[in-house]
Amino acid sequence: MSFQDLGLNPKLLKALDAEGYTTPTPIQSQAIPLALAGRDVQGIAQTGTGKTAAFALPILHRLAANPKRPAPGCCRVLVLSPTRELASQIADSFRAYGKFMDLRSTVMFGGVPKGKQARAMQMGVDVLVATPGRLIDHLQDRAVNLSQVEILVLDEADHMLDLGFIVPIRQIVKMIPTERQTMFFSATMPKEIGNLASQMLKNPAHVAVTPVATTAERISQHVILLDTSHKRSVLCELLSSVVSGRTLVFTRTKHGADRVVKQLGESGLAAVAIHGNKSQGQRERALAEFKTGRCRVLVATDIAARGIDVDGVSHVINFDLPNVPETYVHRIGRTARAGADGAAISLCDGEERAFLRDIEKVIRMKIPQLPAPTARVARPRAA
């Protein structure tokens, strides 16, 4: 199936062509026809599957089919996203796919002043992408009015739950007309998320893409068993002689991320970090350096990395193993996106062996061992 077969507006087809997309991903070929027909959609899909375009394309098609000037302070489409990174990326995607349309869009999230965001709403916009907390602030200031929303999207609902956004979401949804189209995406559908979906959606069509555990099959996975004290030198060795592409290094803590960047720097390897203690400007700069390839190593914590959309990550290195197995699946899913192949290498010390066993249970495979890159770092030095 092609994007033409889906019957999308020629302006969107032109933009997709410019993006280099040739074939819809599975979530796109499932969700787009349903959304174009006006159905509510409940989707199970994680980042990396192409879910953003799965909702953005039919939304833009519907906006183009019924152009209207949005009223001041109003938006025709509201997309709720859990994190500022994801919100920015969704807004970028709308801009990219809508670049041949006369589209007004804006994004709002916390951590930056509100004034500019409020001014962007004054004339009204077609698409507003927002994190729930900051949107509530703007609603209280009466800078945003949701009475004209025609389409509502809730993205990464399970992550919203993790971050405690369910109450603000309920408040927000109450302000949106019930006569609307709603699309709801989540990587997992625990009971609480299922309940929220059933309150928000009307007779939804269900779409799902292969569960995370099997997404991992396209990724070559290895583990290096080593002493904690060797992690640093093994990482340097991997980055300088084994791993050549764009690499995402995961650490469990913010402090750990900063330490790894510093240690790599001391070994002459340029790396940037992204985590919750960094300012918005610092995060954007780090991401930009990584995206443009000026810096090929990005060190991130799990929360900060969720929703980062960077193409062409060839390697994921787990400097620490996560204690939640699903996090491992999320992490390695940052490579091998949209059909490319990727590789994941995990450094596992004695204390992390139990985490490794849990991960292997969830992914239903034994991760093959890789010898540490050199004898020098692999074995304790002989006395």
Nearest C-alpha neighbor of 254 from the set 287, 288, 283, 290: 283
Interface with ligand AMP (CB under 6 A), residue from 9, 47, 186, 221: 47
Is residue 58 a contact residue for ligand AMP (CB under 6 A)?
no
Is residue 53 a contact residue for ligand AMP (CB under 6 A)?
yes
Stretch that binds ligand AMP, among 42-50, 105-113, 131-139, 293-301 (CB under 6 A): 42-50
Interface with ligand AMP (CB under 6 A), residue from 11, 12, 39, 48: 48
Place of tokens 């390839």: 293
CA distance between the termini of the chain: 64
Asked if residue 109 lies in contact with residue 84, where contact means CB atoms within 8 angstroms, the answer is yes
Least distance between ligand AMP and beta carbon 225 (Å): 32
Residues of this chain, 274-313, that bind ligand AMP according to CB under 6 A: 309, 311
Interface with ligand AMP (CB under 6 A), residue from 8, 15, 24, 107: 24
Distances (CA, A) of 10 to 65, 99, 101, 284, 287: 11, 12, 10, 33, 32
Whole-angstrom distance, CA of residue 97 vs CA of residue 60: 8
Interface with ligand AMP (CB under 6 A), residue from 9, 29, 30, 52: 52
Least distance between ligand AMP and beta carbon 143 (Å): 28
DSSP states of 193-231: HHHHHHHH-SSPEEEE---HHHHGGGEEEEEEE--GGGH
Is the dihedral angle over the CA atoms 140, 142, 147, 151 positive or is it negative?
A: negative
Is residue 192 a contact residue for ligand AMP (CB under 6 A)?
no
Pairing mode, strands 246-250 and 313-318 = parallel
In this complex, which beta carbon is closest to ligand AMP, that of residue 48 or of residue 325?
48
In this complex, which beta carbon is closest to ligand AMP, that of residue 112 or of residue 310?
310
Whole-angstrom distance, CA of residue 74 vs CA of residue 100: 22
Is residue 338 a contact residue for ligand AMP (CB under 6 A)?
yes
Least distance between ligand AMP and beta carbon 363 (Å): 20
**Window 156-175: contact mask with ligand AMP (x via CB under 6 A):** --------------------
Within 13 A of 239's CA, how many CA atoms are on the CB side?
30
Residues touching ligand AMP, count (CB under 6 A): 16
Least distance between ligand AMP and beta carbon 144 (Å): 25
- The kind and range of the H/E element at 316 are strand 313-318
Least distance between ligand AMP and beta carbon 291 (Å): 11
Asked if residue 154 lies in contact with residue 51, where contact means CB atoms within 8 angstroms, the answer is no
- Site of interaction with ligand AMP (CB under 6 A): 21, 23-25, 28, 47-53, 309, 311, 337-338
